A and B are shown apart, each in its own frame.
Chain A
Amino acid sequence: MKRNVLWRGILILSILAISVAFAWPLDKKINLGLDLQGGMHLVLQVHTEDALRAEVDGDMGLLLQQAKKSELAGLGGKRISDTSFEITGVTAETRDKVAELYDKYLKGAWDANLSVDRGVYTMKPQYATQTRQMAVSQAKQTIWNRIDQFGVGEMVVQEASDNRIIIQLPGVDDPERVRNLIQSTAFLEFRIVRGGPFPTREAALASYGNQVPPELEILAQDERDKVDATKILQTVYWAVDRARTVTGRDLKNARPSRGQLSEPIVEFSLNAEGAEKFSDLTGSNIGKPLAIVLDGKIVSAPRINARIRDQGIIEGGFTEDSAKDLSTVLRSGALPASISYLEERTVGPSLGRDSIEKGILAGLIGTALVVLYMLVIYNLSGLNAVLALALNIVILFGGLAAFNATLTLPGIAGVILTIGMAVDANVLVFERIREELHAGRTVRSSIELGFEKALSSIVDGNLTTLIAAAFLFQFGTGPIKGFAVTLTIGLLASMFTAVFVSHWIFDLVLSRFRIQKLSI
């Protein structure tokens, strides 16, 4: 018996030591959930149809362009769905050539249906899936690049089923800015201005006899106050080329800077290919204004004074932050598809902190009361239960740290609940012991029988709560998963401490002292 007690004691102390090693220091080793440390949880929907449509437009344009090069006349193209387009104006003469072009450029990804006067081209299913997939991964990467600078702790950006992206940013101070940053499509284009400025859209139309030529379009520019960039002075309209040769894709870098009047601006530089195109564009249009278009709106339209190769600035009512954000967005690239927010949960840091403090307070008082309770009802044996409880809590936190589990607010509730329920097992055993003592058995055998008979009740009872916790883990979201994990680890630890450790403590005491009457 004595050796048995020794070995068991060593086992228990080692488990204690391991738990402490894992869990100390507490504030560094335990992961806090977003609801406790503050932060944002976002679920985005990537509208992959945008990417599909871009592919349709792109390949349709390619086919038409090649047709023009091969001097096929009279062909027109129209997108008819997210995954298909139609080529019209096919004649008997041009038919073969069109089929040939299809074979050369489109066969891999498109199914063709070429009839007498038109061809309908549909995206192959696996190509469509692939495009959708790529849109989501690209969006994920782009978003990551944009918000990398904001997270204080571990940032999570991951793809989820149904073309969604889940973002978790702990410790964010300015959630609104982050949301805007994520969502901006930031499609940058440089276009030559052909007419304007006009005070209204109607005036612009009127100057073309109400019929804008197909190669031009009317775009708006909000002129902003230099001092207060959020104030719009007036809106003017320009007629610009539809064609865009230089876009955001040609950017090598973009960074915030200061302009002549110390106002915030964005400096950009172009890559080799972009520089070529830009040089051509500016060189052949000296004297005309160049519209810098962002998401379909003109930011500024400075006059081209000389050929520009690979550098430039964008100015026009930026604040310190918006210049920085635009640079970030331009550097990260445009989003391949638009996104919308399906779910957002933001917890401000003060709210999270408040929750922790109150949770700890409740936990401490609860523990104190339970300890008192056990001592009053079970006298010295209550001390046994208290020691077991203490070990239980240490193992619980050790387990949380070891499994890298996240402690959430419901998780704190789980800890407190575990404290209350942990004594259940002890009560079951002690009540049995009391019964046996009452029936006249010796101290030693009462203890043995007590533990033996109570075991099945303890296991059965805790098992049901564990089943409930398993379901919670399966079906729950972040904070609730945290609760399920805390409850599970807590209950398992409590079973261990109530059965094994309490038993050992009794045995230890019995082996050292002669006990006539058990204080229970």
Chain B
Amino acid sequence: MELLRDTNFDFMKYRKFWIVVSLLLVGVGVFMIFVHGKLNIGVDFAGGTRVTLQFKDKPDLDRLRSVLTSVGFGDSEIQRYGKVDENEVMIRTRLVKGKSDGTRDAVVGALDKEFTAGQVAGRPDLNRIGADSVAGLLFAADPDQRKTQGEEAAAAHYKEVAKSLLAKRREIGLFAAWADVSGIAGVSQQVASTLEKSCALGVYTVTGVENVGPQIGKELRNQGFWAVILSLFGMLVYIWVRFELRFGVGAIMACIHDVLVTLGLFALFGYEFNLTTIAAFLTLIGYSVNDTVVIFDRIRENMRKNRRKPLIDTMNESINQTLSRTLLTGGSTLLALACLFYFGSDVIRGFSFVMLVGILVGTYSSIYVASPFALLWEQYIGAKAKERRAAADQAQPVRR
């Protein structure tokens, strides 16, 4: 199947219009980031704590909020997370001034007090304790009566039992009822009933914690910032070396355009901006320049073939020639990324959003931002330089 052979669209004809459109998009993007909605800055950069919990039953967000308010975290962000039937909740608390430790202990402590009130005190929580605690507990009680075979054999046996138990817990998140425990392979009825007698089943479990103190937050902000700036600079230098300055400028303009527009949409959809997002943006910059380079490469080749042709026509010709390639590659990468966006886990969704949008915008900008800007540069700065030289020559004729 052949696509678009011998096209001859005059891309550059409406370039002024498209530059305006681009500027508008950038403007909207910047507006989104700084004025409306604002960027949802993650714990990585803002500091603070982000705790994800999995509840046995549907969590009552209001109850959670009142618990948190009682320990001074009333302004935390609490929201449902992930699949509905998995009952996960995400709690985000801000940095507390003066404390470098983060708020995780306070949050978990308050939740513990609230949700374990009804339980029989003193029992370990089977949804929290680790493998060796379980093994130790079982070894002491010896429900399978292995101690007759020797202490070492018994210890080894209960270690295995504990392993199976925890593997199951890892799989389903937390034990919702004692029935979940007795059904596990390798766990005998006696073990299950011993556990039921001596342990409790917590109502929730902590599935993830991100706790970033102010120092680290500052350091990560710096790192992220410099990574992006140096990257852009690196690209500029690279293209300047391989092509010419005017093309370098065009490519960087396209990059900046892509980043700002994507960032704006990112803010609009409320994705969390963290380190992984910066990684996505850097990749985006790489890809955008990649795309632009392919077109510039063709322009350069055509310029060599036909030195007299005006730049604008060469650009048109080159873009037409590379059009099918641009669309096809963009297409395949988009397919792969769309799968990542749709099927991938929540954690990576923000990342794939950036890449997805970025590629669409990047392809557009390689045509309608990079080349026109290079053209503009040429016309105003490159051409002006030529004019000045021509004027100087006229004023002072070359002596022979």
In contact, A176 and B227 (Cβ under 8 angstroms): no
Contact A351 B325 (CB under 8 A): no
Is B227 a contact of A431 with CB atoms below 8 Å? no
Chain B residue contacts of A484, Cβ below 8 A: 279
A53-61, A73-81, A265-273, A366-374: which lies at the interface: A366-374
A431–B294 Cα gap in the complex (Å)?
A: 12
CA distance A35 to B173 in the complex (A): 16
Complex contacts, B133 vs chain A, CB 8 Å: 174, 177, 320-321
CB distance from A445 to the nearest CB of B (A): 18
B137 proximal to A (CB < 8 A): yes
Query: In the complex, are the beta carbons of B100 and A438 less than 8 A apart?
Result: no
Q: Which of B176-184, B305-313, B332-340 contacts A (4 or more CB under 8 A)?
A: B332-340
B20 within 8 A of A: no
Interface with B: A224-232, A246-254, A288-296, which one?
A224-232
User: Do the beta carbons of A358 and B329 come within 8 Å of each other?
Assistant: no
* Docked pose: A129 CA to B339 CA in angstroms: 54
Q: Tell me the B147-204 residues at the A interface (CB within 8 Å).
A: 166, 169-173
Main DSSP-derived SS at the A contact region: helix
**CB-CB nearest in chain A for B44:** A477
Q: Which of A341, A366, A431 contacts B339 (CB 8 A)?
A: A366
B242 at the interface (CB under 8 A from A): yes
Asked if B345 contacts A409 (CB within 8 A), the reply is: yes
**Assuming the A-B contacts A174-B130, A231-B121, A413-B344, are A369 and B335 also in contact, with contact meaning beta carbons closer than 8 angstroms in the complex?**
yes
The reply to whether the CB of B331 lies closer than 8 angstroms to some CB of chain A is yes
The bracket for how many chain B residues form the interface is 35 or more
Chain B's closest residue to A344 (CB) is B211
> Are A467 and B347 in contact, with the CB atoms below 8 A?
no
Flag if A471 contacts B329 (CB, 8 Å): no
Q: Known interface pairs A346-B209, A471-B227. Does A465 touch B290 (Cβ–Cβ under 8 Å)?
A: yes
Interfacial chain B residues near A417, Cβ < 8 Å? 283, 333, 336-337, 340, 355
Q: Distance (Å) between the CB of B287 and the closest chain A CB?
A: 6
For B100, the chain A residues whose CB sits under 8 A away are 45, 340-342
B227 x A370 contact (CB < 8 A): no
B136 and A324 within 8 A (CB): yes
Name the one of A355, A365, A431 contacting B345, with C-beta atoms under 8 angstroms. A355
**Chain A residue with Cβ nearest B51:** A346
**Extra inter-chain contacts (17) besides given A45-B215, A177-B133, CB under 8 Å:** A150-B130, A173-B130, A175-B206, A340-B100, A344-B210, A350-B170, A351-B52, A353-B170, A359-B345, A369-B335, A424-B290, A435-B321, A457-B297, A467-B235, A468-B282, A471-B282, A480-B278
Instruction: Identify the 10 closest CB pairs spanning chains A and B, nearest first.
Output: A228-B122, A468-B286, A420-B336, A174-B130, A420-B333, A465-B286, A475-B227, A366-B339, A348-B207, A173-B130
Residue ranges of A at the interface with B (Cβ–Cβ < 8 Å) = 35, 38, 43, 45, 149-150, 172-177, 225, 227-231, 319-321, 324, 340-351, 353-355, 358-359, 361-363, 365-367, 369-370, 373-374, 376-377, 379, 409-410, 412-413, 416-417, 419-421, 423-424, 427-428, 431, 434-435, 438, 456-457, 460-469, 471-472, 474-477, 479-480, 483-484, 487
Query: Could you write out 23 A-B pairs with CB less than 8 Å apart?
Result: A150-B130, A320-B137, A321-B124, A344-B209, A345-B209, A348-B208, A349-B170, A350-B207, A370-B332, A409-B345, A416-B340, A417-B283, A421-B287, A457-B294, A457-B298, A460-B242, A464-B290, A465-B290, A468-B286, A471-B231, A475-B226, A477-B275, A480-B278
